[in-house]
Chain A
Amino acid sequence: EVQLVQSGAEVKKPGESLKISCKNSGFGFSDYWIAWVRQKPGKGLEWMGIIYLDDSDTRYSSSFQGQVTISADKSIKTAYLQWNNLKASDTAMYYCARQETQWLDRSAFYTWGQWGQGTLVTVS
């Protein structure tokens, strides 16, 4: 069974660096995309970016481009989300999700059916 396991909660100070992880604990290869989603306290879901584990091809939301770095290590089927200069406004829950492709009537549809448990990042 596919399971995404995220690293534990973090408490950091403004200006510090941080890298959190999302590991696919199931069997199989690394030919899939992993997305990162931010959820600030009491707020909605925001897509941050997505990375293809096999070759680290990465796409960012325009809102997060330059603010974070997404990377991956396909040998251990793990994706990362990194900050170099944390701000209080980065305080949030961060989720990873695995993107799969479903075929309907010869059209491809992306689905995010598997999510990690979330990593709470507190910057204070």
Chain B
Amino acid sequence: DIQLTQSPSLLSASVGDRVRITCRASQGINNYLAWYQQKPGKAPKLLIYAASTLQSGVPSRFSGSGSGTEFALTISSLQPEDFATYYCQQLNSYSYTFGQGTKLEIK
């Protein structure tokens, strides 16, 4: 099975900061990667799919990049509502592994 490893597991940042979360796949997955945001007690929310395509309605401060085995989610200027946990997920041939998650907390 393909494994996804996110870094860091915990990220402390301030409003207005630019932050980057990375996701490494154990083997190449082209760009079959999505990013989600999850807040406590809520279902995950799709932010980005196909590694870099913004889901409709998601603010443009979110962006995704990468292909193959190395991917990143960047938030250009953190807003108070962005403090949450973020997950990457690979969607490749009926294999839908998630990364372990990155908790983004207020510094």
- Chain A contact residues, CB within 8 Å of chain B: 35, 37, 44-47, 50, 59, 61-62, 95, 97, 102, 104, 107, 109-113, 115-118
Q: Which residue of B lies closest to A57 (CB)?
A: B94
Report if B78 contacts A (CB, 8 A): no
Q: Which residues in window 25-67 of B have CB below 8 A to A?
A: 31-32, 34, 36, 38, 43-46, 49-50, 53, 55
Are B91 and A45 in touch, CB under 8 angstroms? Answer: no
> Is A50 a contact partner of B96 (Cβ separation < 8 A)?
yes
Q: How many residues of B contact A (CB 8 A)?
A: 24
Docked Cα-Cα span, A37 to B50, in Å, equals: 20
Determine the chain A residues whose CB is within 8 A of the CB of B87 once the complex forms.
44-45
A21 CB, min distance to chain B CBs, angstroms: 16
Q: Could you pull out 18 A-B pairs where Cβ atoms are within 8 angstroms?
A: A37-B44, A44-B99, A45-B87, A47-B96, A59-B94, A95-B43, A97-B44, A109-B53, A110-B32, A110-B49, A111-B55, A111-B91, A112-B46, A112-B91, A113-B46, A113-B55, A115-B43, A115-B44
